[in-house]
Amino acid sequence: KLNGIRGDRADGLYLRNFTIELFEFNSVYVLETDGFVIDRVVGRYNDEYAFLTFAVDHGLYKNCEGYGNGDAAVYPGSASDVNSNSTTYSQKRRWSVEITRCKSHHNAAGYSGTAGNSVYVHDNRFFNNAIGGVTDSVFPNHPGLPQDHSWFRDNEIYSNNVNYFEKYVHSGICDKPPAERGYKPPPSEPKWAGTVCPVGPFPVGTGWVIAGGNYNLIQGNHVWD
């Protein structure tokens, strides 16, 4: 299936305490929704994203985990551009989406967000991905471009050096039909040891990328290895 759970204009959606896996696009896709929570949900083994929210407001990701995804585990794309008229940075503003206490590991990217506007990302762990995270203005036709006014604070971003391109793309494994790629590892292997087929040209070994963005604050993060 394309998506596992899709909340389309589903204001007040609350998702809590389950594991969801193996979809062509996303485990969870929340679209044009005002008010949602993704709480203690594990999203894994998807062609693209574990949790994708798009054109949303008043959103919260907390205590989530994502691994084995071909793009990012968390993606707050085109978050509501509530601070677009401001030409200064201030911590005392309203956030459209908050992401906190999540673990994103063994994905192509830990975090991704084209036009991820007014997003507050704090106290998370992004590790053992190809790259830690990226927010950008690269892809056209996304509402809210260019990206602006996000705050990345007190996150741990480390060991994002996993070369899935060499291991799975160049070897031809990602050319196989999805059912034959081995997204889910055998029981003898760690749960995050399955195949990851990156969908974008991520620069392996990078902590954080801002590919076009205005008035962002990177503060108090620990970035290493």
- The answer for 40, left when phi > 0, alpha when psi is -120 to 50, beta otherwise, is left
pLDDT at 88: 84
The DSSP element (H or E) to which 164 belongs, if any, is: helix 164-164
Q: Residues 52-96: pLDDT tens digits?
A: 999 999 999 999 999 999 999 999 999 999 999 998 887 778 999
178-223 pLDDT, tens digit per residue, is: 999 999 999 999 999 999 999 989 999 999 999 999 999 999 999 9
- Global pTM? 0.97
Is there a contact between 208 and 218 (Cβ–Cβ < 8 Å)?
Answer: yes
With beta carbons less than 8 A apart as the criterion, state whether 177 and 146 touch. no
Which structure tokens are listed for 135?
């927010």
Per-residue confidence (pLDDT) for residue 90, from 0 to 100? 74
Mean pLDDT of the chain: 96
Q: What is the DSSP letter of 175?
A: G
Per-residue confidence (pLDDT) for residue 203, from 0 to 100: 96
Q: Length of the chain, please?
A: 225
In percent, how much of the chain has pLDDT > 70? 100
The pLDDT score that the predictor gives to residue 93 is 81
- pLDDT tens for 150-187 read 999 999 999 999 999 999 999 999 999 999 999 999 99
Cα dihedral sign, 135-218-107-205 = positive
Confidence at residue 92, expressed as pLDDT on a 0 to 100 scale: 73
Q: pLDDT tens for residues 105-145? A: 999 999 999 999 999 999 999 999 999 999 999 999 999 99
**123: Cα within 13 Å, side-chain hemisphere:** 7
- For residue 106, the model assigns a pLDDT of 98
Give me the mean pLDDT over the 31-57 stretch. Answer: 98
